[in-house]
Amino acid sequence: MNAPRAARGPHNQRSFTGPLPTGKRSAVLTYRYTPCYAMHVTFFEDRRTGCIHWRAGGRHIRAADEHNRPPMTTSMRLGVVMDPIGAISYAKDSTLAMLLAAQARGFELCYLEQRDLLLRDGVALGRMRPLVVRADPAGWFSLGEGVLAPLASLDCLLMRKDPPFDTEYIYTTYILERAEAAGLLVVNRPQGLRDMNEKVYTAAFPQCCAPTLVTRDMGEMAAFLSEHGKIVVKPLHTMGGRSIFVLSVGDPNARVVFETLTDYGERFAIAQRYIPDIVQTGDSRVLLVDGEAVPYALARIPAGGDHRGNLAAGARGVGRALNERDRWLAGQIGPPLAAKGMLFVGLDVIGGFVTEINVTSPTGIRELDKQCGTAIADQLMAAIERRLAAVPRAPRAGSRTAAVSTGSSG
């Protein structure tokens, strides 16, 4: 094959075109590579059919499908730290929605799990694997070979590891904070992930909340129950409706619930006045993107015989338009959190009161997009692009020659 000639264009500064090996001009192949720091993934495009063929994975991807199209630019790279991508729920996973939107906007994607992060002499590193995502429930991702490189070689990193918020999660924020100090945009900001416990941080906005008590004193909990007649009690570190109890005055199990949640007075737990609206209108997730509320909320209606408005606990998700109270709550909470670097936040609202402020890995994108025609992940990517444009960066940390191949592949 003759030496290819450079073919520079606005979408791809590293393209080459040339005739087929036979010399016939019946078809033209375009060679592209999209580096994820030091890993190249090769695609071939048949201009007659408009189809893209991915050599590394043997996949056949239609170029007409916007979400299925591989990245077309080398200008920005976006990484994600998440739970194993092969184990997610394709139809419900908000992180996948974000990745599809980022790829469609031209971001090159890099995949990491918590175990891929490390610190070396004060430099945050990660074993990154090039990632291609597809809007295909039969196979929504492909991973390339991993390379070890500075996290700051990325432009943006999504921290989407699900709770529990344990010591390992805290250590992870320390590593991400070093990358942030080197110029990386981390969404959401590591300090905020540490500071904003999703249940306790509601105390920063008491005007938005029902009466709430955080204590390890079982006597205080008993007095709170007597004061309000019916309360909800839960631990501070769980998610998905786990270990949530509803207690009424005179409940013979109240004492044992207090003992269990506080470990006999050795651990903090939270109690809130019971809000009866949960039965009819559910627990609504109001999503905030860079401080602004998405115009629809996802009302999670508890299943029959259950009091928990959590999708993971069997609740039914119903999209609804925001009301005036929702917008007021968003106006109280959204701008201060955006100023602290929390670009994607979920408020849990029951009967007009905020019960939780979710910052670690808020969900609800897929359900709202499907029911209400929103494009929430694309809205988030636009906000990220604005943040990146507002703070021009120096050349990315490290160099391609500094990256070390780990020899792994997805």
Do 182 and 155 lie in a common domain?
yes
pLDDT at residue 32 is higher than 70: no
In a domain, 88, yes or no: yes
Peptide bond preceding 164 in cis form (omega within 30 of 0): yes
Q: Are 218 and 181 within one domain?
A: no
pLDDT reported for residue 254? 97
Based on the residue annotation, tell me whether 358 is a catalytic residue of this protein: yes
Buried b / exposed e over 204-236, threshold 16 CB at 10 Å, is ebeebbbebbbbbebeebbebbeebeebbbbbe
pLDDT above 80 for 215: yes
- 21-49 average pLDDT score: 38
The CATH number of whichever domain residue 247 belongs to comes to 3.30.1490.20
Asked if the structure places residue 396 within a domain, the reply is no
Active-site annotation holder among 32, 129, 273, 285: 285
Which of 150, 167, 195 marks a domain boundary?
195
Check: CB of residue 154 under 8 Å from CB of residue 79. yes
Which of 15-24, 164-173, 180-189 is modeled with the greatest confidence? Answer: 180-189
313-334: pLDDT as tens digits: 577 889 999 999 999 999 999 9
Q: Count of domains in the chain?
A: 4
**pLDDT at 19 > cutoff 90:** no
Give the residue among 50, 43, 37, 38 at the shortest CA–CA distance from 12: 43
Residue 404 lies in a domain: no
Could you tell me if 16 and 39 lie in one domain?
yes
- Look up the CATH number of the domain holding residue 311: 3.30.470.20
Same domain, 307 and 323: yes
* Active site (annotated) includes residue 327: no
Shared-domain flag, residues 263 and 345? no
At which of 248, 273, 298 does a domain end? 273
Q: Is 234 a catalytic residue?
A: yes
CATH of the domain at 108: 3.40.50.20
pLDDT of residue 137: 97
Q: Does 9 share its domain with 43?
A: yes
- Is 328 inside a domain boundary? yes
Respond yes or no: is residue 25 known to be catalytic. no
Asked whether residue 17 is domain-assigned, the answer is: yes
Catalytic residue at 300? yes
In tens, the pLDDT along 370-393 reads: 999 999 999 999 999 999 999 877
Which structural domain range is residue 315 located in? Answer: 278-390
- The catalytic position among 283, 356, 367, 369 is 356
Min mean pLDDT across 5-14, 66-75, 358-367 is at 5-14
Question: Catalytic annotation on 47?
Answer: no
Out of 348, 367, 369, 378, pick the active-site residue.
348
Distance CA 341, CA 387 (A): 10
Asked if the model's pLDDT at residue 410 lies above 80, the reply is no
Query: Which one is predicted more confidently, 3 or 171?
Result: 171
Asked if residue 348 and residue 282 are part of one domain, the reply reads yes
Do 111 and 186 fall into the same domain? yes
Average pLDDT, the chain: 82
Residue 302 banded pLDDT, cuts 50, 70, 90: confident
Q: Which of 199, 273, 366, 396 is catalytic?
A: 199
Instruction: Select from 195, 226, 252 the last residue of a domain.
Output: 195
Position of tokens 């110029």?
183
Instruction: Let me know if residue 375 belongs to a domain.
Output: yes
Shared-domain flag, residues 13 and 46: yes
Choice among 134, 178, 308, 396 that is catalytic: 308
65-69, 161-165, 226-230, 351-355: the lowest-pLDDT one:
65-69
Between the alpha carbon of residue 380 and those of residues 106, 158, 179, 340, 358, the distances in Å are: 14, 11, 21, 16, 16
Residue 207 domain-assigned (yes or no): no
**Residue 34 maps to a domain:** yes
